[in-house]
Chain A
Amino acid sequence: MPIHENVGRLIQLAKRRRMIFLALTAVCIATWSLSSRAKPNDEVPYPVGYRLWTHVRTVLIGPQSPAFESFGGLHHIYANEKAMEGYRAGRFPDGSVLVFELLETRENAGVTAEGPRKRVGVMVKESKRYAETGGWGFESFQGDSQTERRLNAAGRTACFKCHEPQKNRDFVFSEYRK
């Protein structure tokens, strides 16, 4: 076999390898982008900086309340700017975030003070993403953690079921205390 034929075959082989490599790369990129598109991030993000948002109202739920087991303690509601529009207009725009911050209480000599944070409940308004639950996404973060999520799918459905009777107030219970 003449040398130049051998060289020609080697070049062809290298070309084929390059084609296979490029094709595999393309498949990888396509799979990755499709998977990230098919699995939209439905997770409600931690409401970073909510303590500097507007304080809406406060309630203390004591042992005599039937809600004590689930919600016992002192809770504050905080709203970001868009959610404040919602309180004023009755309809919460996309991007509204409401925080239900639940604290333990410490009683001493007739004074009930705030104790450690029990959890941070969050409602995020995104009409399309959360179309099945009134446009609101629900989540609850444990204690001071920004990553430890407390709700599974059933838990989130339970949130919505309880908020559902408030439909004419866009599923929100609280009212802004002036």
Chain B
Amino acid sequence: MSVVRLPDRQLAVVLAAYRGAARAKRLQFFVAAAVLVALIGLSAVQAEVDPKTFFAEIGGFFSYFDRLMTLDTGARVWTDPASWFWSLKRSLRLIGETVLMAYVGTLTGATLAFCLNFLGSPNLTGGAATVFLTRRFLEFCRTVPDIVFASIFVVAFGLGPLAGVLAIAIHSVGALGKQFFETTENIDMRPVEGLRAAGASWIETIRFAALPQVLASFTSFTLLRFEINVRGATVLGFVGAGGIGLDLMEAIRKFYYSDVSAILVLIIAAVMAIDISTQYLRRALIGEARS
């Protein structure tokens, strides 16, 4: 096998071009790095980052976890599960409430997002104004954080899970609505045109042409959102909107160390259980859609 070698004069031109390109790329990289370093410096000043406090207190972080794992008696938590989880009944009830809040909020949000998303896809809706308005509304719903909605609702409806459910529902409308219309936008239009040509109404077109194409991914998105909402619902109690959050905040603020770790263990276990089961359901769903 012989390797073709260009004449030196041609090779010099090619090499010069290569070196130029490599240098340009390197310059680009260094400029980007310099901008990043400048931004980091600026942010560090703005966020009052103090490495001295950090290194003085970092030991505190680990000793904090050490204290989390210690009972009031000084024994390790796992040596006495009964007093570690002394409030197990109450915590489990509150975690159940948290999961139910996420469930009700997600279901409400998904239903509304389902109704709205067809208005937000230009291939199914005639008016550009409808599409524009629907999309801006959904954007508003998902950009305002759910905890902000929750704290406003707590003022209006009082303390309790209702405020949390409404906040989760509104946030889910925005987040799911966007994923839904992005799916609907990209469906195969031939069934839609077929039904339109046969004289079907708008509702019939959506039911028999759009729905069969999008239902599986809609369900998958909703399950994923449920998982995210369970995680989010654990902190809605911080503003009094129901769930385990209020108990957790109290335990952290009042330094009830072993209670904090007990609640955290329960939250992590619940979130992981929901993670695994939704993942299983989504896999089953995708498998069904493929077959």
Q: Do A and B actually bind?
A: no
